[in-house]
Structure 1
Amino acid sequence: MLEIDKQSPLPIYYQIEAYLKQQIDDGLLKPGDTLPSEREFSEQFHVSRMTIRQAIMNLVNAGYLSRQKGRGTFVASQKIAMTLSGLTSFSEEIKHRGMRPLSRLLSYEVIPATDRIAQQLSIPNQTPVYEMKRLRLADDHPLALETAYIPVHLLPDLTQDDATGSIYAYAEQHGLRLKNATQTLEARSAGPEEAKLLTISPNAPVLLIDQRTYLEDGGMFEYSRSLFRGDSYSFTVAMDRI
């Protein structure tokens, strides 16, 4: 049991935060476990609820805990470790980790490429492209929001049903050979609608990844923007000294 040291230079909320983090790291609190309420913690540690709230929110923002409105605070699931090397699809990555991938199609339409999309795909303005917005899940747990753009002439028969599965696998089954991709990563906060779809708190940390996927002949296959939950992912980059 934690004994609060009120004479310590460390803030009380930090002492509580470190204690709970150690409980999680040691496996005494396991993924899915429900934490006591702020009131119960306040009575247990003899501190204000505001102090408890600060410790809890820091752990939520760090990915150790998750809050669900009306249900409480839970120990978050272990983060999915992604390696940013090798071109794999979301479905392939999730299956590799023993989970069931699912794509919930939020919107699907053919649009004329705007200046920005045309530039990203290296195609003329107004070229017809698929715009597909998908919520990506693993074992029914929302992990990412993705908006993808693909020139229609590359996959002229792509249907909404096809878009709920792995588009990479569909493309390769239809004779396209994918070669590589470039990614740009940026940290930001989730907006209200994004947070609702990802079941996270508004302004929770997310990672924005812009990806450009290339065909073996050097042409562009896809441009996508994906928002990954900060509490569910960690990314590892392999680098060689040059």
Structure 2
Amino acid sequence: MPQPPPEPEIIMLDTPEIPLATFEGLVFGPRSDMPIWQQIRDHILGLIEGGALRPGSQLPGETHLAASLGVTRITLRQALQQLQAEGHLTARKGVGIFVRSPPAIFSVRDGHPFRENIETHSAPITTDTRFVRRELATAELAARLRIAEGAGIIHLRRLRLLGDQPVYVNDKHFPADRFPDFEALYTERQSVTDVFRASGIAAFRRVETRISGGFSSADEAENLRLTPGTPVFHLNARNEDDKGRTIEWTSGCWPLMSVEFVFGAPTK
């Protein structure tokens, strides 16, 4: 039986916690003018916009930050939740709260590997291959791939990370009869585009792309380190070879604030 490819090494970036002294200087006004939590929200937003809190940096823990500001954790949490809802902060399950990095720009174009379609403003994108395995096509996947129900397919799941933060998880399905050596080729090259080329598919094109808003499932949330129900983009796409035969169906999930989609060549 083919063995799944080894997981590539992921370089973890150092994201030191922001010193508590950074948050000093907040003098609360009367509650009648503005709720305390909103004054905290405005203060933290000002630190972000002024550059004192840099993208990717981690906020101190709620207990220490609340004590530093002289408020309860409940009051502080209201401010932090509002900043998360507005897209200025992001919570990483089991890790903490971070200043959100600018969204990646993903260009939807024909015949280009993922790395050529993604533009980030900070850390490079890395890939964590979760598994590659052979399965039988369900009725839904058979319809997507234009094959018979129960036919053999290849299922590849990958996680894309920006630094140490997951930003995209996808499941790719391929008709197995087109790629008898998929596992060996992918293990060697770590690129679906290279697998296509090595399998005699010199050119392919995106014939269908669907992007919709929704909420993360438990499985998506676990992979992306989100709270289940977090707003996300769902992406579905189909690729064909130069003879019009379907060679790939992709289902993916991006956190809502992590990406901007561009159709066609990006503007430089």
Shift of 1:73: 2.2
Letter in 2 for 1:185: I
Partner of 2:246 in structure 1? 220
The answer to whether structure 1 residue 233 and structure 2 residue 259 are counterparts is yes
**Helix, strand or coil: the match of 1:119?**
helix
How big is the shift at 1:91? 2.8
Give the Cα separation in 2 of the matches to 1:39 and 1:139: 27
Q: Give CA-to-partner distance per residue, 1:45-101, whole Å, 9 cap, x none.
A: 554322211221232344422334554322233321223455533233347878544
> Which residue pairs with 1:211 in the alignment?
237
Structure 1 residues not aligned, in runs of 5+:
none
1:92 to 1:219, Cα distance in 2 relative to 1, 3 A: same
The reply to whether residue 88 of structure 1 matches residue 109 of structure 2 is: no
Residue equivalent to 1:128? 152
Contact kept, 8 Å, 1:61 with 1:204, in 2: the verdict is: no
SS at match of 1:172: helix
Change (3 A) 1:34 1:107: closer
Say if 1:94 and 1:138, in contact at 8 Å, map to a contact too. Answer: no
Matched residue SS, 2:140:
helix
Give the alignment partner of residue 165 of structure 2, picking from 141, 164, 172: 141
Residue ranges of structure 2 left out of the alignment (5+ in a row) = 1-24
Report the Cα offset of residue 223 of structure 1: 0.6
CA distance in 1, matches of 2:27, 2:122: 40
Give the distance between the partners of 1:99 and 1:165, measured in 2 at CA: 20
Q: Which secondary structure does the structure 1 equivalent of 2:167 belong to?
A: strand
- Residues 130-166 of structure 1: per-residue CA shift (max 9 Å, x gap): 1112222244432211111111122221116606722
| RMSD of Structure 2 on Structure 1 (CA) | 2.9
Structure 2 Cα separation of the partners of residues 71 and 223 of structure 1: 33
- Assess if the C-alpha contact under 8 Å between 2:138 and 2:149 holds in 1: yes
User: Closer, same or farther in 2 for the Cα pair 1:109/1:28, shift >3 Å?
Assistant: same
Aligned length: 237
Contact 2:91/2:97 (<8 A) preserved: yes
Contact 1:61–1:231, Cα closer than 8 Å, also in 2: no
Q: Does 1:154 align with 2:193?
A: no
Matching of residue 7 in structure 1 with residue 32 in structure 2: yes
Letter in 1 for 2:196: A
Identity of aligned residues (%): 24
1:37 is aligned to 2:61: yes
1:184 to 197, 200, 210: 210
Q: CA contact under 8 A between 1:146 and 1:226: conserved in structure 2?
A: yes
1:106 CA drift (Å): 2.1
Aligned partners of 2:110 and 2:206 also within 8 Å: yes
> Is 1:175 matched up with 2:200?
yes
Moved over 6 A (4+): 95-98
- Give the AA of the match of 2:229: N
Higher mean displacement: 75-84 or 111-120: 75-84
TM-score, normalisation: structure 1: 0.82
Q: Structure 1 58/113 Cα, relative in aligned 2: closer, same or farther at 3 Å?
A: same
Matches of 2:66 and 2:125, distance apart in 1: 40
Q: TM-score, normalised by structure 2?
A: 0.75
> Which residue number in structure 1 is paired with residue 224 of structure 2?
198
Q: How does 1:50-69 map to 2 (within 5 A)?
A: 50-68=74-92
The answer to whether the 8 Å contact 1:110/1:130 transfers is: yes
